[in-house]
Chain A
């Protein structure tokens, strides 16, 4: 049970950390100042969620008597060891969040697809039998509402904008839609925690997600392609090549200068 719980919390944490890291690359590169600030604000919210989840995972790992491979760094596990000292195969984020930023349209679309999922997930997760997971979800849900509204409005503006912005959004959909099904495919650790009502059955979120996406896309004059091959694996640690590059940059300082602080 403990292993599944730790994996589940790390999955929730990794999703938010990787998306936060990717969004933060827009800092000082946004198309206009206000939206630059918006995407970095969202990044900060996601990073806050990641920290809460990692802190909780660290607490459970440290209190477990059994030796854990995560304790290899020697001594106590912290939020930082979990973020900076695990390899790609240890990361359990879904493939969607590790896809490249691309242009502004693709970043917006990735945020919308994920926020729509995260909103539905946290709505359920705030009633989890695990008190700390429930508390983190309830707190973050208020922020996710802002992310979802903001990204929905931008999908509509760009989709129903100029010929070029419309084309770029449609391209982004074609690039990202193969990573959607994974969001609703249960990993073994999610299944294991269902009985105790700790995790959420993500397969049950699919209809509501498609309904909302359909509404926003139709207002944005965008189409969801059908019968697209679906790639999964991220939640089990099987990632696309790109995660390696993300971690190489994010973890560089701790890998090159272990335990450095500033």
Chain B
């Protein structure tokens, strides 16, 4: 890759940093780790590769459109957005900055160690920190929350309910 296309790729990444997730509007799609690759091919076409967080994520079509709009607004015409499923998205790809932004927004960020991703029933739940008062004295209300990527928790200290971006 020559310097010219290197600079182009960096510019496109900067643009993609401004595309927000429609369901968690404080996170950009790069914070979430949805953008997997930006490449310029031999004919100078820009190839953007994205991956869904959840299989049925209804936001993917909107994200696709928002990327398209954002690229067009920035003067790019010759580009293609491709969706891939493999390797499957994991919460480990969420950036540190993204996790901090989530917490400030009132959603507990995913724990790094994925201990709950097995089929065993009635497992001891991970300790999830309340994003409001930082207490670990919290309890699971439902493993399925307001969107596919979140679980619902309650804080036993400040009594607020909150979403947890569950491990995946």
Q: Which A residues are closer than 8 A to B by beta carbons?
A: 34-35, 37-38, 41-42, 44-49, 51-52, 119, 131-132, 134-136, 138-140, 142-143, 145-146, 148-150, 152-153, 156, 212, 216, 219
A-B pair count, CB < 8 Å, reads 85
Q: Is the CB of B88 within 8 A of A138?
A: yes
Q: Which B residues are closer than 8 A to A by beta carbons?
A: 52, 54-58, 84-89, 117-123, 141-146, 148, 152, 168
Q: Is the CB of A42 within 8 A of B144?
A: yes
Q: Is the CB of B56 within 8 A of A47?
A: yes
CB-CB under 8 A from A148, the residues of chain B are 119
Q: Find the B residue at minimum CB distance from A46.
A: B56
Q: Is the CB of A142 within 8 A of B168?
A: yes
Cross-chain pairs A/B with CB under 8 angstroms, 20 sampled: A34-B141, A35-B142, A38-B143, A41-B148, A44-B56, A45-B55, A46-B56, A49-B55, A49-B56, A131-B86, A132-B85, A135-B84, A138-B87, A145-B117, A145-B118, A146-B143, A149-B119, A149-B120, A149-B143, A152-B119
CB-CB under 8 A from A142, the residues of chain B are 88, 117, 168
Q: Is the CB of B142 within 8 A of A34?
A: yes
Q: Is the CB of A38 within 8 A of B117?
A: no
A219 to B121 CA separation, bound complex (whole angstroms): 11
| Pairs of residues from A and B, 7 with the lowest C-beta to C-beta distance, nearest first | A48-B56, A48-B55, A135-B86, A34-B142, A38-B144, A41-B144, A135-B85
Q: Is the interface of B mostly helix, strand, loop or mixed?
A: loop
Q: Is the CB of B168 within 8 A of A134?
A: no
A179 to B55 CA separation, bound complex (whole angstroms): 27
CB-CB under 8 A from B144, the residues of chain A are 34, 37-38, 41-42, 146, 150
Q: Find the B residue at minimum CB distance from A43.
A: B56
CB-CB under 8 A from A219, the residues of chain B are 121
CB-CB under 8 A from B123, the residues of chain A are 149
Q: Is the CB of B148 within 8 A of A37?
A: no
